[in-house]
Amino acid sequence: MLASAWLWSCGSEPQTTAPPAFTGDHSRQNVDNPTPSDSSTVNSDGKSGNGDGNVGSGAPEAIPGDTPLVGSGGSTSTGSAGAAPVDMMPAPACGVVANAGSPTDTDVNIDLAVQFQKIAGFGGMDGGFYPELTAAQVDSAFGNGPGQLGLSIIRIRVPETVNRFPTSVAAAARASQLGALVMATPWSPPVEMKSNGALIGGSLKVESYGAYADHLLSYRDFLQANGVPLYSISVQNEPDIQVSYESCDWTPQQMVDWVRSQGPKFEGVQLMAPESTRFDRRWSDPLLQAPDVAAQFDIIGGHVYGNGVADYPLARQQGKEVWMTEHYSDSANPANQWPLALGVGTDVHRSMVVNFNAYVWWAIRRAYGLLTEDGLVSKRGYVMAQYSKFVRPGFVRVSATQPANTDLAVTAYKGGNQLVVVALNRSTTAQSVALDVFNGCATQLSRFTTSATENLAQGEAVTLTNGRATVTLGAESATTFVSL
Single-letter residue type at 447: R
For the entire predicted model, the pTM comes to 0.85
Share of the chain above pLDDT 90, in %: 75
Predicted pLDDT of residue 94: 73
- Return the C-alpha torsion angle 195, 199, 203, 207, nearest 10: 60
Predicted pLDDT of residue 103: 77
Residues 285, 394: Cα–Cα separation, whole Å = 26
What mean pLDDT do residues 52-71 have? 40
What are phi and psi for residue 294, nearest 5 degrees? -55, -30
Task: Say if residue 267's pLDDT is above 70.
Answer: yes
Confidence of residue 80 (pLDDT cuts 50, 70, 90): very low
Cα 400 to Cα 67, 108, 320: the distances in Å are 11, 6, 24
pLDDT in tens, 355-371: 999 999 999 999 999 99
Higher pLDDT, 130 or 30: 130
Cα 218 to Cα 175, 214, 254: the distances in Å are 21, 6, 22
Set 160, 238, 246, 275: catalytic member: 238
Share of the chain above pLDDT 70, in %: 81
In this chain, the answer to whether the domains covering 82-116+397-483 and 120-390 adopt an identical fold is no
Q: Can 326 be counted among the known catalytic residues?
A: yes
Predicted pLDDT of residue 64: 61
Task: Say if residue 319's pLDDT is above 50.
Answer: yes
Opening angle at CA 348, ends 183 and 470, nearest 5: 140
Q: What is the mean pLDDT of the chain?
A: 84
Task: Say if residue 105's pLDDT is above 60.
Answer: yes
Residues 24, 232: Cα–Cα separation, whole Å = 29
Predicted pLDDT of residue 455: 98
Task: Say if residue 9's pLDDT is above 60.
Answer: no
Residues 476, 463: Cα–Cα separation, whole Å = 23
pLDDT in tens, 391-445: 999 999 999 999 989 999 999 999 998 999 999 999 999 999 999 999 999 999 9
Predicted pLDDT of residue 62: 56
Task: Say if residue 40's pLDDT is above 80.
Answer: no
User: Which run of H or of E encompasses 57?
Assistant: helix 54-57
Whether residue 151 contacts residue 180, with contact meaning beta carbons closer than 8 Å, is answered with yes
SS3 210: helix
pLDDT in tens, 369-380: 999 999 999 999
Residues 239, 244: Cα–Cα separation, whole Å = 13
Architecture of domain 120-390: Alpha-Beta Barrel (3.20)
CATH class of residue range 82-116+397-483: mainly beta
Whether residue 468 contacts residue 434, with contact meaning beta carbons closer than 8 Å, is answered with yes
Set 160, 246, 326, 476: catalytic member: 326
Q: Can 267 be counted among the known catalytic residues?
A: no
Opening angle at CA 355, ends 351 and 358, nearest 5: 60
Residues 180, 400: Cα–Cα separation, whole Å = 28
pLDDT in tens, 164-214: 999 999 999 999 999 999 999 999 999 999 999 999 999 999 999 999 999
SS3 1: coil
**Domain regions of the chain by residue span:** 82-116+397-483, 120-390
